[in-house]
Chain A
């Protein structure tokens, strides 16, 4: 079933919407949740919550890219679950390493004085991504949006793990400098 029809089912309050979503995007959502959480049970719960969340948010939302809309929900829910789990000292999947890498870009302080316009920051990151080649952009997004492991990215791009790590290092440094030049001191 194509996305337009799935979204229409949500708007018609037809419960087939959930089945159609699970059939088409269940595996995709599970892979995102599992990357973040590292365990199947938590990932499945987050994916079920994603369907509920989608049900509650359509209407009023009518997403233009359903996969990304669902991906964003499952990413957020899994991230919240991850934080809850780490408070309970239960480990995550790939996320702790990804967060470690992102530490290089930020001060680590979250004080209110450091007012950053998040919308402007997202815009700047978008412009940065736009300047990259599709392959580099895909490597960056695989790691920092989909939370894919280095080896998964390496296999997908026909690269060695070390080469992917090196590419990501350079991209992080490049992004850091790019943001600094535009006045974003994170």
Chain B
């Protein structure tokens, strides 16, 4: 048999497995894949199309109390994705002076120091990346400046947490969850929107004039509550 024939034969495998793999692709794709792919390409600009994808299942909101707070988790059945013209700047292997400059820019943009921010987070978080998402100063200008600062972490149980912060506007989003009339949650006086798609949560909130988008994968609602409490305390 030839490899081409085997490839064709593989096309006839049980459709339930294909469907299962498709769900896997869909579930794991939001944000992580897009940003991950872009981060891998370092400074990489994309212009793309606007796609609306409807996922199966009816949307709804569940009220949960994992710890002290009552959280409204909005189930999402629409994912809207957008490729954006951005560049990623990784802040690794910088010289002392370069790091100093990045820290100054960070503090100026966010209104708090990098160290102060990191100290707010759970100590068990292991940081895996720190970079900025840079947007063009004007269309086709070719000049990009940091719009968002992004931190990625691994949790003790191999969960993934990505925190995107921006003080001047809402963080750029390459993947929107469309949800009509989402219910809000309140944690220590801060109002947050929590969305859930399969094993991912996305949390949007503002605190101390900074806008946060948090994306997680494989972490519990209790861990989300703990993280939010740490940030807003």
The answer to whether A and B belong to the same complex is yes
Chain B nearest Cβ from A37, distance in angstroms = 14
Q: Could you tell me the distance in whole angstroms from the C-beta of B64 to the nearest C-beta in chain A?
A: 25
Partner of A186 from the list B1, B15, B25 (CB cut-off 8 Å) is: B1
Residues of chain B within 8 A of A102, CB atoms compared: 3, 6-7, 10
Q: A108 contacts which chain B residues (CB < 8 A)?
A: 1-3
Residues of chain B in range 10-65 having any CB-CB distance to chain A below 8 Å: 10-22, 24-25, 28-29, 32-33, 36-37, 40, 51-54, 56
Q: How far, in Å, is B154 (CB) from chain A's closest CB?
A: 9
Contact of B24 among A1, A27, A67, A134 (CB under 8 A): A134
| Residue from the list A26, A146, A186 in contact with B21, Cβ < 8 A | A146
Nearest neighbor of A83 in chain B, beta-carbon distance: B4
Known contacts A67-B22, A145-B21, A156-B33; A75/B3 CB under 8 A: no
Tally of contacts, chain A with chain B, CB under 8 A = 132
Q: Which residues of B sit under 8 angstroms from A98, Cβ to Cβ? A: 7
Interface status of B9 (Cβ within 8 A of chain A): yes
Nearest opposing residue in chain B for A104, CB measure: B3
B1 touches A116 (CB 8 A): yes
**Interface of chain A residues 58 through 111 with chain B (CB within 8 A):** 64-65, 67-69, 71-72, 75-76, 79, 83, 95, 98-100, 102-103, 105-110
> Could you tell me the dominant secondary structure of chain B's interface residues?
helix
A window 1-49: CB within 8 A of B: 1-2, 23-24, 26-28
| B33/A155 in contact, CB under 8 A | yes
Alpha-carbon gap, A84 to B91, bound state (A): 46
**Contact partners of B116 in chain A: CB under 8 A:** none
**Closest chain B CB from A18 CB (angstroms):** 16
For B28, give the chain A residue with the smallest CB separation. A156
Residues of A within 8 A of B56 (CB): 2
Which residues on the B side are within 8 Å of A152 (C-beta)? 33, 37
Q: Please report which residues of chain A, range 98-151, place their CB below 8 angstroms from some CB of chain B when the two chains form the complex.
A: 98-100, 102-103, 105-110, 114, 116, 118, 121-122, 125-126, 129, 134-135, 137-138, 141-142, 144-146, 148, 151
Does residue A158 face the partner (Cβ distance < 8 Å to B)? yes
B162 within 8 A of A: no
**CA distance in complex: A155, B32 (Å):** 7
Is A157 an interface position by the 8 A CB rule? yes
Is B140 interfacial (CB-CB < 8 Å)? no
Alpha-carbon gap, A23 to B51, bound state (A): 8
- Report A64 CB to chain B, min CB distance, Å: 8
Set A27, A72, A99, A121: member contacting B7, Cβ < 8 A: A99
Minimum distance in angstroms from A43 CB to a CB of chain B: 13
Closest to B2 in A: A110
Residues of A near B147 (CB, < 8 A) are none
CB distance from B48 to the nearest CB of A (A): 11
Determine whether the beta carbon of B28 is less than 8 Å from that of A68. Answer: no
B11 and A72 within 8 A (CB):
yes
Which residue of the partner chain, among B11, B14, B158, contacts A76 with CB atoms under 8 Å?
Answer: B11
Q: Are A144 and B7 in contact (CB under 8 A)?
A: yes
Closest to B14 in A: A126
Cross-interface CB contact of A141 among B1, B5, B21, B53, cutoff 8 Å: B21
In the assembled complex, the Cα of A103 lies from the Cα of B17 at a distance in Å of 23
CB-based contact B6/A122 at 8 Å = no
Residue contact A145 to B19, C-beta cutoff 8 Å: no
Instruction: With A100-B3, A138-B20 as known contacts, state yes or no: A24 contacts B11, CB within 8 Å.
Output: no
- A-B contacts, 18 listed (Cβ < 8 Å): A64-B15, A65-B15, A68-B22, A72-B18, A98-B7, A99-B3, A102-B6, A102-B7, A106-B3, A108-B3, A109-B1, A118-B9, A122-B12, A125-B10, A146-B21, A146-B25, A148-B25, A155-B37
* Shortest 6 CB-CB contacts between residues of A and residues of B: A141-B21, A68-B15, A138-B24, A156-B28, A102-B3, A155-B36
